[in-house]
Structure 1
Amino acid sequence: MARLSGRDPSLLRRINSTAVLRVLRSHFGRAPLTLTDLAHATELSRPTVEGVIEGLVDAGLATEAGEEQPGGAEHAARRGRPARRFRFRAEAGHAIGVEIGAHRIAAVVSDLTGEIAGSVTQDVEEDAPAAERLAQAHTTVAELIRVNAVDCGSLRAVGVGTPGIVEADGTVRLSTALPGWTGLALGEKLRETAFGCPVIVENDANSAVVAERWQGAAEGAQDVVMVLVGLSPGAGSLIGGRLHRGFGGAAGEIGALHLLGREATPERLLSTTDEPLHPLDETAVARVFALARAGDERAERAVERFVQRLVHDVAALVLALDPELVVIGGWASGLDDVLGPLRAELERYCLRPPRVALSVLGESAVATGALRLALDEVESELFSVRLD
């Protein structure tokens, strides 16, 4: 193991560079900083800061701000040369978040501060084979890059959210939603054929809960469960603000709870006929909820059965994790009538019922969370000191 030592000048340069870059990044969007400002903020000497800044400018991560002086050039001349000021170059790189789902591919791109520049969504057939779905993902990202005039060389990381149990290396160990997805080395294939930068692959519900904490219903919350409601629901969890994946990446797979001796599958619970719904037929599910709201008795009974099963699944997570907040997303986003029964039933089943809220980000949650994971990878590279 490498040992920290003040005698290693390269290590000291990395530490100093990281300290200055962190300050510049934290001040992005505010007034540019002088060398003196940076020296005070980092507690480094001014000559050290000046040397670091030169390196950051050469690397394209910092730039000198324009010399804008009140009163024009004559006023500036009387005062002498103004202090040089510097800012973080958010445009120096980009990150992309991608959702590869059953019915669509969605992609979103941002600069290095997370400011979203644009998004693209394309439909995909639910029975599309793996190779076709991957090709569609490449096409969607290429369109995103083209529309937003992003230089491919500026890509720093790509995050991908997808249904299934995903291992740490980006291999999909199990996915019942997407044909040919089980066993697919998704991260490796995307790194080799598409992006030329780090690719982080995560379960879709895990990506969604990260997104809701970043800029959605769970902002500021530390212990959160997010449920992507569907006929095979999944959940993502944050414990102490950190994503909980479980030992093998299978945490939150509550869609498997119906296998524990229950007679009725979710597809039958929400059916208003004698035939089960197709597990991926979101339109049919929305139609049942719409009929229930309109007063159709059979649909009302179906929704009641489904919500009761959902409550049991969510209650299992709540009792195990004791979250402060449960966020409901997936195709249930916008179906506010789910929340009332869910809150009431959790009151009955849970020792300390959590707050329950609807997703703020809706359909964009998975791609947005994947983007946040990509940005985390970029920030780890930029702002951490690695020991060689």
Structure 2
Amino acid sequence: MGSTMPDAGDQSRLRQLNERAVLAGVRSAGEVRVAQIVEQSGLGRTAVEEVLASLVTRRWLVEESPAIRGRGRPARSYRFRAEAGYVVGLDIGAFSVRGVLTDLNGQTLVSRRQSVTPETPRLERLAAADEVVAACAREADADLWAVGVGTTGLVDAAGTVVRANAIPDWAGTDLAEYFGRSARLVVVDNDSQLAALAEQRRGGRGGTDMVFLHAGRRTGLALVLDGKLRRGAYGAAADMSALRGVAWEAALEHLHAVAPAEVPEMDKAERAFAAARAGDRAAVNAVRKYAKAMAVAAATAISIVDPRLLVLGGAFSQAADVLMEPLAAELDRLCPRVPQLRASSLGALCVALGAASLALDAVDEHLLARSRGPLPTLAAASLDSSQR
């Protein structure tokens, strides 16, 4: 008669699954007591306490000092060590390279920016990105676990830029390979896609169907449907940059034309928005012309997917007070049904924040979800961020 007892391999795998379940529960709860973990996980108290002790020993969790209230033994609570590791999200564009560093819970700790131009050579642009990553890491004294990279242009599944209209020598750049030389884990995607991801995760949009209009010195569109970012078969979902009828690149000239000649090109649009805000008639008219061009692309996407929400994001979302009204008027003229219109609060950091979210997803997928074997013991250097 065969034995019904699980063998050592099954027991080991069960312990690994239990510790990942407990770790995920503590991480999502913030700070949680043992009794709550038992209730949420469905495991016995003895099993939970064994897992908690192991995760504390290996520095994944911290046991917090309990508050003493009345008689009896105070309840123990645990929190996830979000400071155990960090990720950097990069936004590599035609005019700037931005970076944000977050902990493993996604809290932004540092942001950095370097200016570039569309004519900046590829190696210099990559060097600027390296310096942004290094500056973020130095500021936080951080152990980087992953780097997420957002970039203008079409990006394939392997992390190579396939097409980039905004940067002459950018097509063919293998960003995954380049950053993989120094980072343990690298993920890459298009900037507008990542801006939409950040809006979904950090802007409180959740599972809402959304068209994201990424407005700045470069323009893009992205879609979130059924609570998921839709990249399409080749990463080009909602990419209308090649359609001649969508003249959104030329539309920027309407804004530039009303800014004084001595204003640097990278600041002209912001100056035009400021003039429109002050009531300058020429600037108000320029903003309307710009909004009209943006509305053509947005209306096309709205007509196809019928979303509940259109979000104006990117650097120009900070001018929503003068841009949203003419945009709404044009959409009302073009669309049989106009969705709710909202402006993002993430501003120019939206792509970098989306890249950080993608990097955190990769950490979860590769380390916490798929990997077999026990979780490793983490470094003690960042055991308490207040001790740095």
1:299, 1:64 → 2: CA distance? Answer: 58
What are the ranges of 5 or more consecutive residues in structure 2 without an aligned counterpart? Answer: 1-5, 374-388
Residues 382 and 33 (structure 1 numbering): CA distance in 2 closer, same or farther, change over 3 Å? farther
Q: What is residue 297 of structure 2 aligned with on the other side? A: 313
Does residue 307 of structure 2 align to residue 326 of structure 1? no
- Measured against aligned partners, the alpha-carbon deviations of 1:78-117 in whole angstroms (never above 9, x if no partner) come to x5x6565433212211122111122222211122111222
- 1:234 Cα deviation after fit: 0.7
Does residue 288 of structure 2 align to residue 304 of structure 1? yes
Read off the aligned partner of 2:61 and give its amino acid letter: A
SS of 2:147's equivalent? strand
1:265, 1:41 → 2: CA distance? Answer: 55
Does residue 330 of structure 2 align to residue 345 of structure 1? yes
- 1:291 Cα deviation after fit: 4.8
Q: What is residue 376 of structure 2 aligned with on the other side? A: none
Does residue 232 of structure 2 align to residue 243 of structure 1? no
Alignment of 1:165-204 (within 5 A): 165-192=154-181, 194-195=182-183, 197-204=184-191
2:213, 2:65 → 1: CA distance? Answer: 48
Query: Would you say the 8 A contact 2:256–2:265 is kept in 1?
Result: no
What are the ranges of 5 or more consecutive residues in structure 1 without an aligned counterpart? Answer: 1-5
Query: Would you say the 8 A contact 1:18–1:385 is kept in 2?
Result: no
TM-score normalized by structure 1? 0.83
Residues 62 and 300 (structure 1 numbering): CA distance in 2 closer, same or farther, change over 3 Å? closer
SS of 2:188's equivalent? strand
Match of residue 91, structure 1, among 55, 72, 83: 83
1:53, 1:261 → 2: CA distance? Answer: 56
Match of residue 214, structure 1, among 175, 180, 201: 201
Read off the aligned partner of 1:304 and give its amino acid letter: R
Query: Would you say the 8 A contact 1:161–1:204 is kept in 2?
Result: yes
SS of 2:149's equivalent? strand
109-118 or 165-174: which moved more? 109-118
Read off the aligned partner of 2:65 and give its amino acid letter: G
Query: Would you say the 8 A contact 1:199–1:374 is kept in 2?
Result: yes
Read off the aligned partner of 1:379 and give its amino acid letter: D
- Measured against aligned partners, the alpha-carbon deviations of 1:41-90 in whole angstroms (never above 9, x if no partner) come to 2111233223322332243211333355358xxx7xxx5x6565433212
- 1:230 Cα deviation after fit: 4.4
Q: What is residue 3 of structure 1 aligned with on the other side? A: none
Q: How many residues align?
A: 361
Residues 43 and 123 (structure 1 numbering): CA distance in 2 closer, same or farther, change over 3 Å? same
2:201, 2:78 → 1: CA distance? Answer: 27
- 1:305 Cα deviation after fit: 3.1
Query: Would you say the 8 A contact 2:252–2:290 is kept in 1?
Result: no
SS of 2:12's equivalent? helix
Residues 261 and 353 (structure 1 numbering): CA distance in 2 closer, same or farther, change over 3 Å? closer
1:39, 1:292 → 2: CA distance? Answer: 58
Alignment of 1:108-257 (within 5 A): 108-150=100-142, 152=143, 155-192=144-181, 194-195=182-183, 197-216=184-203, 218-230=204-216, 232-257=218-243
- Measured against aligned partners, the alpha-carbon deviations of 1:226-269 in whole angstroms (never above 9, x if no partner) come to 11224652112111111111111111222222x2597x944666
Query: Would you say the 8 A contact 1:103–1:124 is kept in 2?
Result: yes
SS of 2:62's equivalent? strand
Query: Would you say the 8 A contact 1:65–1:85 is kept in 2?
Result: yes
TM-score normalized by structure 2? 0.83
- 1:382 Cα deviation after fit: 4.9
Read off the aligned partner of 1:14 and give its amino acid letter: Q
Query: Would you say the 8 A contact 2:62–2:78 is kept in 1?
Result: yes
Read off the aligned partner of 1:347 and give its amino acid letter: D
- 1:133 Cα deviation after fit: 0.8
- 1:322 Cα deviation after fit: 1.1
Read off the aligned partner of 1:21 and give its amino acid letter: L
Read off the aligned partner of 1:365 and give its amino acid letter: C
- Measured against aligned partners, the alpha-carbon deviations of 1:115-170 in whole angstroms (never above 9, x if no partner) come to 222222222233211111111111111111111221x3xx2222111111111221
Read off the aligned partner of 2:314 and give its amino acid letter: G
